[in-house]
């Protein structure tokens, strides 16, 4: 059987590849990553000037996450904070690509003067403190 | 269709769907959802970047603090968890849930950003996106406009903070873009800052709890309701709008302008209201063309020179309060009222009042004493018998002799033959005039002063209340005449008879609707006694029955034979001296054919004097041939003229020539008199029947 692509010009092949990339991209924006970082009683220190990326969700069952000055924490999924706290100090930058859930026992504290970007929604049952900037959604 | 074409189309379709999925559909909600147990303590900024982002809340109000909430989308909202905007936990739904901190609507681009109707603490519009401001936006703190795109206001924008607030500048010149639509202020003092300019298109409401301080410029739009004090200071400027304005409390102008501009509808100073201009040249009231100020309360100018007001000549100030008296604010000649109207309660004045155009006095009097109501040549209009009591002065330098100038009431006027520069009539009802006789005179003091010579037809009105006690039975309104009455110590009254006979016109109280009048032509400031009303003397109205004097040769029944221009009545006393008067027939001297009204009681007394041509002739017209004086004791006919020659008596003389004969009775005529007294050398020619004594 002949491959149906074979007769086509390179432009058509490029178009097909682009289509596949777009479908994947669309799927990524809809779906959460299958990968999860779970924090259960740990103390996570994201020290000054470093970058930490979670290519998936964060399940924060207990413990603390501290993001220090000029550090970046990027969560390319949804963050769920069940107990404990996230503390973003000074010019720390935290990005959550999907939603941020803060449960009744959770605390999210954005100190001045950096920003927390949540591109989805923030669902808060606990304490949300902001002294810097919290950006919700995308334009 | 080739295989190639089919696949090509399939790829394109799949690509289109992928593009839509990847870029256009918001697959995640983008809200802040604070649930019942959550707390959001924001001392920084929470920014909503999507067009539909919402701040949802189900927590108690105490769980929320805020510094800045920034909406960067087109339709961001405060809601509850279910998306409703008015349930109990929604931020800004009522004053108790007022959104704390600042809510900033900040968006770039040209897409319109819609504000949500809310109770805000502080509100800011920023960046160039147009803003759509709906009805029911309440600001309790500060309203900021920071390089904002055009703002379109709808409904009412309310400043309702409990602490003093500034009203933010909006300088749009028309419509509701960059100009407030309706504005309401409440709960605390509101200020328009110096150098700020606040303009609006619709209704202004200043509630009782919200005094207003205008230190900049404030332009009302249509109707306005001010229920609290307004202070205008530091060169502030407050202009009323094109609708009506109601001022329920004080408007105090210390240093600035309160302006009722051309095109503005009526401004009402309500019974509890006051416009007061403080003692400064710069505390001004300005009224433009065709504007109107209705004062049910009070208007007071505390700046003694009174030059801090400007009334267009077509403007109208209407004092219509019911307080007794309501005080009319004084003005000066250089800054007069345009039109002035009064109605309802009695008015007084706190100084001289100058009116440039018309004066209208309705319902009740203006009591000017001891001041002067001063007009130029405008109309003075009266209704319901109202009057100006006291001095009414007119500057007549631009006057006209063809115009009737009404003075203190609707029946008092001067029609000038020669006009002075000014003429003042001081009219005081129920006040004793000079040389007053309560048995015959009108109890009203009318004093005329003028600068310059004048001569005029003068009408003087009076009311029933000006005749407080019964007159002598012989006196009558029908006999009212004008006198030049001198003051003490030599009080006397000289009868005015400027023409012979005088041209009186009268309307009695019975014929009037409340103000009767006497009118006499030819009174002058100078000249002989009979035409002159001296400057400062009173114009006395006297209804006495004076002795009638013949002033021309003519028939007894002809009014123009007599000095009061009326036929003698039975109660009258008559003197004929120097003229020939005939009874009962027509002579060519006046060709007067009206028969005598009282042929059987011509008068009480007749005296035929000793001057040449003094004659009383009795003739007949058919059966109209029998005459008598009042048939009572004490009624006399006295003859003193001695005829120089015999008077022909074969037939009654019908020529126009005077006859010099004393008493002449022609054939067919009968005259009866109770007493006949003939003086020395007096002559009587009787060719008819002369009967003396009562049979």
Q: How far apart are the C-alpha atoms of B652 and B328, rounded to whole Å?
A: 70
Beta-carbon contacts of residue B35 (< 8 Å; ≥ 6 apart): A123, A124, A125, B58, B59, B81
Residue B40 to residue A23, Cβ atoms within 8 A? no
> A60 near A80, Cβ under 8 Å?
yes
Strand partners, B180: B200
The minimal CB distance from A12 to the residues B8, B30, B46 is found for B8
The minimal CB distance from B35 to the residues A12, A124, A130 is found for A124
Reported confidence tier of residue A6, pLDDT bands at 50, 70, 90: very low
Interface of B with A in 61-90 (CB under 8 A): 72-73
A52: how many CB neighbours lie within 10 A of its CB? 17
Reported confidence tier of residue B8, pLDDT bands at 50, 70, 90: low
Reported confidence tier of residue B6, pLDDT bands at 50, 70, 90: low
More confident residue, B145 or B546: B145
pLDDT at B14 over 60: no
- Beta-carbon contacts below 8 Å between A and B: 132
Q: How far apart are the C-alpha atoms of B365 and B370, rounded to whole Å?
A: 14
For the record, the structure tokens of B447 come out as: 């004093």
Residues of chain B neighbouring A12 (CB-CB closer than 8 A)? 7-8, 11
Directed axis angle between helix A10-30 and helix B3-23, to 10°? 30
Give percent helix, percent strand, percent coil of chain B, each to the nearest 5: 5, 40, 55
Residue B297: name the closest of B283, B317, B278 by CA. Answer: B317
More confident residue, B440 or B25: B440
Q: How far apart are the C-alpha atoms of B89 and A102, rounded to whole Å?
A: 19
pLDDT, position A34: 62
Q: State the pTM of this model.
A: 0.86
> A18 near B15, Cβ under 8 Å?
yes
Residue identified by tokens 């103390």 is A43
Residues of chain B neighbouring A110 (CB-CB closer than 8 A)? 44
Query: Which of A69-83, B210-224, B341-355, B493-507 shows the lowest mean pLDDT across its residues?
Result: B493-507
Coil vs helix vs strand at B350: coil
Chain A residue with minimum CA distance to B3: A4
pLDDT at B9 over 60: no
Residue identified by tokens 């002035």 is B340
Residue B446: name the closest of B455, B454, B435, B456 by CA. Answer: B435
pLDDT at B28 over 90: no
DSSP assigned state of B13: H
Reported confidence tier of residue B108, pLDDT bands at 50, 70, 90: very high
pLDDT, position B564: 87
Residue-wise pLDDT for A48-101, tens only, equals: 999 999 999 999 999 999 999 999 999 999 999 999 999 999 999 999 999 999
More confident residue, A110 or B635: A110
Q: What is the mean pLDDT of residues B184-200?
A: 97
Residue B49 to residue A135, Cβ atoms within 8 A? yes
Provide the phi-psi class of B584: left if phi over 0, else alpha when psi is between -120 and 50, else beta: left
Q: How far apart are the C-alpha atoms of B536 and B446, rounded to whole Å?
A: 10
Q: What is the mean pLDDT of residues A17-45?
A: 62
pLDDT at B400 over 50: yes
pLDDT at B335 over 50: yes
Reported confidence tier of residue A2, pLDDT bands at 50, 70, 90: very low
CA A29, A30, A32, A33: dihedral to nearest 10 degrees?
-50
DSSP assigned state of B337: B
pLDDT at A13 over 60: no
Residue B15 to residue A128, Cβ atoms within 8 A? no
More confident residue, B7 or B688: B688
pLDDT, position B314: 98
HEC profile of B611-666? CCCCEEEECCECCECEEECCCCCCCEEEECCCCCCCCCCCCCCCCCCCCCCEEEEC
pLDDT, position B500: 83
Check if B45 contacts A (Cβ < 8 Å). yes
Kindly list the distances between the CA atom of residue A50 and the CA atoms of A46, A94, A119, B601, B675, in Å, as whole numbers in the listed order.
7, 12, 22, 138, 147
Domain limits of chain A?
1-31, 32-136
Reported confidence tier of residue A1, pLDDT bands at 50, 70, 90: very low
**H/E element, A112:** strand A100-113
- DSSP calls for B79-140: E-TTS-SSSTT-TTSSGGGPEEEEEEEE--SSS-EEPP--EEEEEEEESSS-EEE-S-EEES
CA distance A62 to chain B (A): 18
Residue A104 to residue B49, Cβ atoms within 8 A? no
Query: Which of A16-25, A32-41, B496-505, B516-525 shows the lowest mean pLDDT across its residues?
Result: A16-25
pLDDT, position B5: 53
pLDDT, position B501: 86
**H/E element, A62:** strand A57-67
Check if B24 contacts A (Cβ < 8 Å). no
For the record, the structure tokens of B522 come out as: 């030819």
Distance linking the first and last C-alpha atoms of chain A: 49
Residues of chain B neighbouring A114 (CB-CB closer than 8 A)? none
CA distance A137 to chain B (A): 5
Reported confidence tier of residue B633, pLDDT bands at 50, 70, 90: confident
DSSP assigned state of A20: H
What ipTM goes with this model? 0.80
pLDDT, position B27: 52
Average pLDDT of chain B is: 95
CA distance B140 to chain A (A): 23
For the record, the structure tokens of B123 come out as: 């509100």
For the record, the structure tokens of B512 come out as: 């009037």
Reported confidence tier of residue B285, pLDDT bands at 50, 70, 90: very high
Average pLDDT of chain A is: 84
Residues of chain A neighbouring B40 (CB-CB closer than 8 A)? 124, 128-130
For the record, the structure tokens of B673 come out as: 């008199």
Residue B15 to residue A18, Cβ atoms within 8 A? yes
Reported confidence tier of residue A4, pLDDT bands at 50, 70, 90: very low
pLDDT, position B10: 53
Q: What is the mean pLDDT of residues B10-20?
A: 48
Distance linking the first and last C-alpha atoms of chain B: 153
Strand partners, B671: B627, B690
């Amino acid at each position: 059987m002949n491959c149906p692509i074979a007769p086509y010009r390179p432009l058509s092949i490029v178009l097909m590849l682009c289509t596949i990339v777009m479908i994947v991209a669309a799927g990524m924006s809809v779906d959460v990553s299958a990968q999860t970082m779970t924090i259960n009683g740990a103390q996570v220190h994201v020290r000054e000037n470093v970058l930490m990326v979670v290519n998936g969700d964060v399940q924060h069952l207990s413990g603390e996450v501290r993001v220090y000055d000029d550090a970046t924490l990027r969560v390319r999924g949804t963050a769920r904070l069940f107990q404990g706290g996230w503390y973003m100090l000074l010019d720390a930058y935290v990005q959550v690509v999907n939603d941020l859930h803060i449960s009744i026992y959770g605390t999210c504290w954005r100190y001045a003067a950096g920003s927390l970007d949540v591109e989805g929604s923030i669902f808060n049952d606990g304490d949300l403190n902001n002294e810097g900037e919290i950006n919700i959604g995308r334009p | 269709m080739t295989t190639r074409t089919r696949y090509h189309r399939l790829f394109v379709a799949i690509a289109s769907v992928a593009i839509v999925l990847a870029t256009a559909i918001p697959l995640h909600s983008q809200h802040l959802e604070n649930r019942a147990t959550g707390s959001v303590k924001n001392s920084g900024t929470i920014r909503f970047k999507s067009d539909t982002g919402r701040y949802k809340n189900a927590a108690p109000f105490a769980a929320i603090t805020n510094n800045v909430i920034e909406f960067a989308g087109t339709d961001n909202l405060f809601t509850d968890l279910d998306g409703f905007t008015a349930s109990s936990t929604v931020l800004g739904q009522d004053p108790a849930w007022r959104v704390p901190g600042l809510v900033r609507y900040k968006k770039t681009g040209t897409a319109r950003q819609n504000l949500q109707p809310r109770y805000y603490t502080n509100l800011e519009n920023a960046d160039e996106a147009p803003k759509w401001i709906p009805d029911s936006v309440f600001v309790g703190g500060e309203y900021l406009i920071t390089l904002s795109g055009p703002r379109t206001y709808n409904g009412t924008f309310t400043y309702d903070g409990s602490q003093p607030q500034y009203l933010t500048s909006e300088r749009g010149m028309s419509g509701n873009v960059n100009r407030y639509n309706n504005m309401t202020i409440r709960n605390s003092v509101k200020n328009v800052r110096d150098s700020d300019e606040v303009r609006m298109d619709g209704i202004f409401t200043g509630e009782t709890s919200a005094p207003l301080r205008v230190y900049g410029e404030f332009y009302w739009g249509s109707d306005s309701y001010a229920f609290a004090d307004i202070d205008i200071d530091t060169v502030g400027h407050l202009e009323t709008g094109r609708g009506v304005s109601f001022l329920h409390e004080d408007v105090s102008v210390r240093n600035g302008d309160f302006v009722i501009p051309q095109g503005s509808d009526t401004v009402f100073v309500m019974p509890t209201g006051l416009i007061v201009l403080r003692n400064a040249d710069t505390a001004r009231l300005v009224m433009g063309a065709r504007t109107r100020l209705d004062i049910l309360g009070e208007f007071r100018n505390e700046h003694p020179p009174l030059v801090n007001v400007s009334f267009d000549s077509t403007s109208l100030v209407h004092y219509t309060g019911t307080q007794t008296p309501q005080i009319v604010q004084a003005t000066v000649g250089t800054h007069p009222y345009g039109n002035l109207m009064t109605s309802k309660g009695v008015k007084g004045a706190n100084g001289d009042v100058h009116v440039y155009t018309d004066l209208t006095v309705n319902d009740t009097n203006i009591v000017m004493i001891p001041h002067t109501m001063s007009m130029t040549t405008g109309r003075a209009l009266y209704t319901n018998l109202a009057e100006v009591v006291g001095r009414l002065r007119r500057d007549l330098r631009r006057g006209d002799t063809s115009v009737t100038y009404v003075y203190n009431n609707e029946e008092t006027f001067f029609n000038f033959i020669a006009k002075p520069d000014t003429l003042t009539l001081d009219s005081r009802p129920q006040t004793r005039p000079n040389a007053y006789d309560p048995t015959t005179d009108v109890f009203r003091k009318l004093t005329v002063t003028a600068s310059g010579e004048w001569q005029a037809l003068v009408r003087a009105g009076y009311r029933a209340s000006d005749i407080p006690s019964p007159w002598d039975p012989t006196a009558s309104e029908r006999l009212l005449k004008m006198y030049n009455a001198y003051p003490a110590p030599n009080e006397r009254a000289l009868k005015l008879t400027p023409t012979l006979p005088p041209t009186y016109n009268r309307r009695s109280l019975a014929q009037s609707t409340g103000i009767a009048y006497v009118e006499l032509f030819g009174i002058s400031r100078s000249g002989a006694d009979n035409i002159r009303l001296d400057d400062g003397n009173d114009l006395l109205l006297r209804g006495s029955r004076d002795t009638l004097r013949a002033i021309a040769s003519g028939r007894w029944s002809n009014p123009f034979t007599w000095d009061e221009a009326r036929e003698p009545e039975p109660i009258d006393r008559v003197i004929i001296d120097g003229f020939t008067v005939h009874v009962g027939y027509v002579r060519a001297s006046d060709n007067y054919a009206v028969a005598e009204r009282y042929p059987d009681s011509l008068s009480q007394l007749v005296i035929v004097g000793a001057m040449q041509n003094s004659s009383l002739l009795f003739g007949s017209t058919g059966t109209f041939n029998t005459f008598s004086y009042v048939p009572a004791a004490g009624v006399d006919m006295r003859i003193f003229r001695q005829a120089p020659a015999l008077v022909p008596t074969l037939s009654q003389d019908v020529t126009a020539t005077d006859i010099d004969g004393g008493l002449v009775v022609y054939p067919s005529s009968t005259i009866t008199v109770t007493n006949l007294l003939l003086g020395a050398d007096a002559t009587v020619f009787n060719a008819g029947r002369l009967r003396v004594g009562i049979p």
